Structure 1
Amino acid sequence: EKKALRIFRQLLEAFKVLNRFNIMHRDIKPENIFFSYGKVKLGDFGFCKGLKDGEYMAKTMLGSPIYMAPEVLKGERYTIKADIWSLGVVLFEMLFGVCPFRSNSIAMLITTINKQ
């Protein structure tokens, strides 16, 4: 748990930097978390969206469904809070060793997440 919290704190620091520059990552997942010399790095910025002044929402459904927030899966407009959801799923997975949502298909996964 201590190791997971140490990693998560560093992820939050990376998220704060993105937030400061109005950037949504939109694909936070374990595969995009890297370790270098004891430091945690958030990578793969291919789906990032830089928000213009006054803009705070996106609509494009991008990322990995297991880590997507319900509003993203529903095709609704979403804010940087969708990245916070993804961070929460990653934390759950670090603490419990399993993803909080399991399903045999994307459609079932969407239904399961939307019930939360």
Structure 2
Amino acid sequence: LQGLHFLHSCQVIHRDIKSCSVLVDLSNWVGIFVDFGLCAQLTVENSKCSSSISTPSWIAPEVVTGEPFGPEINIWSLGILGLEMVEGEAPYQ
């Protein structure tokens, strides 16, 4: 969560949080976000994004419907990642 908080404090939307985008250090169980290729940098002028880039099982509803979105889509994807950790597979496959 600290890594996601840091990204959001820098006005960065990851846009592709999923199981293969998180590495886990098993010595202290710390998750590290990787794969920043789809990130978007928000600005004062552009506080929302509208391009629908993401991986289907982890995609937030507002991205699917084409609505402008902000960092909150990362929270949705993180929730889906949590479900995947509990269930052993991503929902909506």
Match of 1:9 in 2: none
Provide the alpha-carbon RMSD of the alignment: 1.4
CA distance in 2, matches of 1:81, 1:21: 14
Rg comparison, structure with higher value: 1
Identical residues among aligned pairs (%): 31
Q: If each structure's helix is expressed as a fraction of its own residues, which one has the higher value?
A: 1
CA distance in 2, matches of 1:54, 1:84: 23
The number of residues matched between the two structures is 91
Is the partner of 1:52 in helix, strand or coil?
coil
Aligned residue among 41, 62, 66 for 1:71: 62
What are the ranges of 5 or more consecutive residues in structure 2 without an aligned counterpart?
none
Matches within 5 A, 1:7-26: 12-26=1-15
TM-score normalised by L of structure 2: 0.88
Moved over 6 A (4+): none
Q: Deviations over 1:67-106 (max 9, x none)?
A: 000110112211111111000000011012122213xxxx
TM-score normalised by L of structure 1: 0.72
What are the ranges of 5 or more consecutive residues in structure 1 without an aligned counterpart?
1-11, 103-116
